[in-house]
Structure 1
Amino acid sequence: MNDFQFSNFKFVPLHILFWVGVWFFFVYFFSYNSTNSSYVFYFSSFLLPITMGTTYFFAYFLIPKYVFRSNYKLFIIYGIFAIVFSTYGILLTIFGNFIFLTNLKVTNVPPMSRNYIFVLILVYLVVGLVSFIRVLKKNSETIAKNVRLENKLLEGNLRLKDQELQYLKKQIHPHFLFNTLNTIYGFAIARSEHTPELILKLSNLLDYILYQVQKPLVPLQEELAHIEEYISLEQIRFKDTLQVTFKKELKSKNLQIPPMLFIPFIENAFKHGTILLGTLEIAIQIQASEETIFFEVTNTASKLNSNTNPIGLGLQNIEKRLQLLYKNNFTLVSEQTKNSYSIKLTIHL
């Protein structure tokens, strides 16, 4: 009986209390319309071990070994054997008590103990009750176990998701930083007076990269402020050859987004945009509400060069990151025309 551990002593008092209650129930039942208390006492006492043996055999052996494993054929076969043996034990109890306690007088036998069918029903009423509780308990344990397994799987998936997000961040941020440092290097070589200003702006962006991006979410307005910081840094580099428009329409001031969500798209526009007629034009637009965030960046580009707007490492990783963060609740569309290239991102919150 693998499922019934007698070494688990904390349940022993409960079992003893239960069987004491069953014995009193037998005494009460067989005392109906009878004054032979001595017969009722011994009859109930001899019937109790048969009931206990049958109950434990069904509830802690047959059901766990065959019903829980869906082997119903063997359960029925062994169940029939158990009923036969318990019937034999009940008959021995009835006739034994009749022979030794009544002087072979039927009138001395309590009415409720004369009928074998009543006694059998009473015994298997207890067997059925305990077996039902056993099955109910097993089902509860199985459900609880499945919930624990599901929670572990969910925790594992969340952990993997978080690790992948951190991996993507570690790729995106150095990529962005590398491009900015190249810009400062070029100004330093040229001994430009704007180099200190560039370094100061870079330090602000570094503060954002090193500290703020560790958070899962940041206020949207804070993200937009650092986008403006990055644009001002690029304006120093491009001087008069750059024209940037940045339109913002925020219907909610409490929105939060993952940090550095839009900067890689903007960086790509500066890096791969084409100066046409002496000017690199970049138009950035963001519209945000409680339900949707729409982001678009468009830059001048020449369609003659197929490599004008390649999907770089930063954009590949940001698309993977979007998939992890929003699954299928976003659309990312790029469009190439004769003189422009645009990316449109819509996020459904």
Structure 2
Amino acid sequence: MKLSKEVYKGLITVVSHLVFWLIIYFIYTYFLGYGSNNTEYVNKFSIYLMPVTICVSYFFLYFLIPKYLLTKKQGLFLLYSVYTFIVSAFLIILSILYALVFLIELNSKGTPPLTKSLPFIILGVYFVVLMVIVFGLVLYNYKSIVKNEDLKNKFLQTQLQLKEQELKFLKMQIHPHFLFNSLNTIYGFALKKGDETPDMILKLSNLLDYILYQVKKPTVNLIEEINHINEYIELERIRFQDTLKVSFNSDIENESIQIPPMLLIPFVENAFKHGSIVNGILTIEIAIEQYKNEFNFSIKNTVKESVNNIEKGIGLETVKKRLDLLFNNDYELNIDESNDNFNVQLFIKNL
């Protein structure tokens, strides 16, 4: 039959206490009987001192220290300590008298074989009590440190779980946003009964495969994210026909470097959704650079009107929150509008 963790821990505590007091008993016999040959008398005399020593020690350890000292009631702790020492001194003297009465033969030859006087015996008892108090304070301090570490770890785990839940929620926001745009595009071609509709559905199917399976992972290979962007661009090429000009350049040192999935596609979506056709063309320029642990992404599209509302769109706001959760201060995101162009630059270090 296996013992429960609590029972096993309780047994260990009891055994350790018994061993400690056994050691104290042997210390008493050595302290009181040093220079004496009557070991039987010394052993019995030491037994009489043990009850008061144990009671006073445990009174400090389990009552005065946790109730007053650890709760920062030093005045009351000092006051009750003085009372305890007065009462315990009386009990120690009483124990010694009982030992003398019951263990010494009251005759002229019956001299106590103890080599220590009464004050030394009392000091010896208080020395043991002091040892217990110091040991107890060290133990309480250790337990406090362990408890604080446990609380800290639980707090960090709770924060991590909250961040994971928030990331999942943000991903859930991105998916409908992306699907809404794509399905609207296919719907438009279906109404016109365009020949491109089956091809668009196939490309959307590939994108959905990426979303449903890869996006569940915390990270994916950078090359997978790039391929995902290429699929999306090809889908938009069909929709815009000759009114779209896209350049997508990538300079990647390590294609297997990890990046959160669906991190870049909202920027690309916004470029197509909020970009404007200027002089008959919607121009979009995308560049990705990766060297060692540094990552740089930039995208620029033509616009005609203010993009203040665009910055507050669900796509970019969601990405900002994800970046804060994922990279903290290890990223820079710059968004501005100049010369009829909407520019986004994302720099990530320690990727």
TM-score by length of structure 2 reads 0.89
Structure 1 residue 270 corresponds to structure 2 residue 272? yes
Deviation string 1:16-68 (CA, Å, 9 cap, x unpaired) is: 33333322222222221223345423321222222122212222221121111
Tell me the distance in 1 between the aligned counterparts of 2:98 and 2:150: 53
Structure 2 partner of 1:20: 22
Tell me the distance in 1 between the aligned counterparts of 2:11 and 2:265: 65
Aligned length: 339
Greater mean deviation of Cα atoms: 318-327 or 18-27: 18-27
Give yes or no for contact 1:281–1:300 (8 Å, CA) kept in 2: yes
Structure 2 partner of 1:295: 297
Q: Which amino acid aligns with 2:194?
A: S
Q: Which amino acid aligns with 1:335?
A: D
Structure 2 partner of 1:29: 31
SS at match of 2:310: coil
TM superposition shift of 1:337: 1.5
1:112 counterpart (112, 115, 127) = 115
Structure 1 residue 211 corresponds to structure 2 residue 213? yes
Deviation string 1:95-127 (CA, Å, 9 cap, x unpaired) is: 5555661637699233533x2232122112211
SS at match of 2:277: coil
1:180 counterpart (159, 178, 182) = 182
Deviation string 1:68-92 (CA, Å, 9 cap, x unpaired) is: 1111111111111121122223333
Structure 1 partner of 2:331: 330
TM superposition shift of 1:222: 0.4
Structure 2 partner of 1:5: none
Tell me the distance in 1 between the aligned counterparts of 2:243 and 2:309: 19
Tell me the distance in 2 between the aligned counterparts of 1:318 and 1:134: 53
Q: Which amino acid aligns with 2:167?
A: L
Greater mean deviation of Cα atoms: 136-145 or 194-203: 136-145
Greater mean deviation of Cα atoms: 99-108 or 151-160: 99-108
Structure 2 partner of 1:319: 320
Give yes or no for contact 1:87–1:120 (8 Å, CA) kept in 2: yes
RMSD value over aligned CA atoms?
2.2
Structure 1 residue 57 corresponds to structure 2 residue 59? yes
Tell me the distance in 1 between the aligned counterparts of 2:218 and 2:13: 48
Tell me the distance in 2 between the aligned counterparts of 1:223 and 1:136: 55
Pick closer, same or farther for the CA change 1:23–1:338 going to 2, 3 Å.
closer
TM superposition shift of 1:308: 8.7
Tell me the distance in 2 between the aligned counterparts of 1:149 and 1:269: 46
Structure 2 partner of 1:339: 340
Structure 2 partner of 1:310: 310
Give yes or no for contact 1:248–1:285 (8 Å, CA) kept in 2: yes
Tell me the distance in 2 between the aligned counterparts of 1:206 and 1:247: 24
TM superposition shift of 1:13: 4.0
Tell me the distance in 1 between the aligned counterparts of 2:213 and 2:167: 16
2:150 counterpart (140, 148, 151) = 148
Q: Which amino acid aligns with 1:126?
A: V
Q: Which amino acid aligns with 2:310?
A: P
SS at match of 1:310: helix
2:123 counterpart (121, 127, 131) = 121
Structure 2 partner of 1:4: none
Structure 2 partner of 1:233: 235
Pick closer, same or farther for the CA change 1:14–1:341 going to 2, 3 Å.
closer
Give yes or no for contact 1:272–1:309 (8 Å, CA) kept in 2: no
TM superposition shift of 1:165: 1.1
Structure 1 residue 348 corresponds to structure 2 residue 345? no
Tell me the distance in 2 between the aligned counterparts of 1:106 and 1:339: 117
TM superposition shift of 1:196: 0.9
Give yes or no for contact 1:59–1:127 (8 Å, CA) kept in 2: no
Greater mean deviation of Cα atoms: 308-317 or 197-206: 308-317
Unaligned stretches of 5+ in structure 2? Answer: 1-9
Tell me the distance in 2 between the aligned counterparts of 1:105 and 1:65: 50
Q: Which amino acid aligns with 1:330?
A: Y
Unaligned stretches of 5+ in structure 1? Answer: 1-7
Give yes or no for contact 2:307–2:337 (8 Å, CA) kept in 1: no
Tell me the distance in 1 between the aligned counterparts of 2:255 and 2:107: 95
Deviation string 1:185-240 (CA, Å, 9 cap, x unpaired) is: 11111221111111110110111111111111111100000101111111111112
Structure 1 partner of 2:75: 73
Give yes or no for contact 1:243–1:282 (8 Å, CA) kept in 2: yes
Tell me the distance in 2 between the aligned counterparts of 1:286 and 1:106: 104
Tell me the distance in 1 between the aligned counterparts of 2:243 and 2:200: 18
Structure 2 partner of 1:195: 197
Q: Which amino acid aligns with 1:240?
A: D
Tell me the distance in 2 between the aligned counterparts of 1:50 and 1:309: 80
Percent identity, aligned pairs only? 45
Tell me the distance in 1 between the aligned counterparts of 2:77 and 2:223: 68
Q: 1:93-104 maps to which residues of 2 (within 5 A)?
A: 93-98=95-100, 101=104, 103=106
Pick closer, same or farther for the CA change 1:50–1:163 going to 2, 3 Å.
same
